[in-house]
Amino acid sequence: MANTPTPHNGAKLGEIAKTVLMPGDPLRAKFIAENFLENPKLVNKIRNMYCYTGTYEGKEVSVMGSGMGMPSIGLYSYELYNFYDVDQIIRIGSAGGYADGLQLYDIVIGQAAATNSSYFNYLKVPGTPALCGDYELIEKSVAYAKANNLRYRVGPILSSDVFYGDPDAAPKWKQMGILAVEMEAAALYTNAIQAGKKALAILTISDIVLGGTPVETTAEERETKFTDMMKMALSLA
């Protein structure tokens, strides 16, 4: 397409696979490429938002950082869907646990994303759209989790525009059935709706927000230790 490369993505059309894994941290993208992909090629490094393309079990896969927050993943995923002809994006990120029983390193599969953001307003629909993950990708993720005896939950998540928000809001979201909070999935799901493409957020619990003494993983652990989630996402290619 004539729109590539873009001011934000130096890859040429055809250098990015039909399936893209998107961690928030570009260093996690680098870790995945170097540890799981065969013959990974760096196709973008603009703003250090690394994108690599290689193969996994014979299938072409790309992995690219999304940055933090909905405006950032919104920009990159929009270009991937609309300019680079990507078919499906799997967000692989960290999340804060709300639901009872969640533990560090549990996997949450984002069936739908509630949000306090107005990102979806660009769709110009007369109401609030249902921001849902792709059902086929959800089914495959659940099958992978069962086959590999992983701890997982499926359900709604919250995509928040605010990291240091109102602490009184979390119990209210939990009461609404929200399993965990993160900052990107709602924008990804919005762009998938707009483009008629597939998306899913697969999240690893990096900290426990509610319920007892707060606990959390380190930055290094979030970069290199969330391998169950990484392998699950790679299986969807």
**Rounded to an integer, what distance in angstroms lies between the CA atom of residue 135 and that of residue 121?**
23
Residue 220 has φ and ψ, to the nearest 5°, of -65, -40
207 is catalytic: yes
Residue type (1 letter), 225: K
Residue 179 has φ and ψ, to the nearest 5°, of -80, -40
Convert 3-30 to b/e letters by CB count within 10 Å (16 or more is b). Answer: ebbbeebbbeeebbbbbbbbbbbbbbbb
The encoded tokens of residue 28 equal 């996690």
Paired with 112 in beta bridges are 132, 156
Q: Of 199, 219, 164, whose CA–CA distance to 76 is shortest?
A: 199
Q: Which residue among 25, 161, 207, 228 is the active-site one?
A: 207
Q: Of 15, 141, 20, 120, whose CA–CA distance to 74 is shortest?
A: 120
Residues that are catalytic:
207
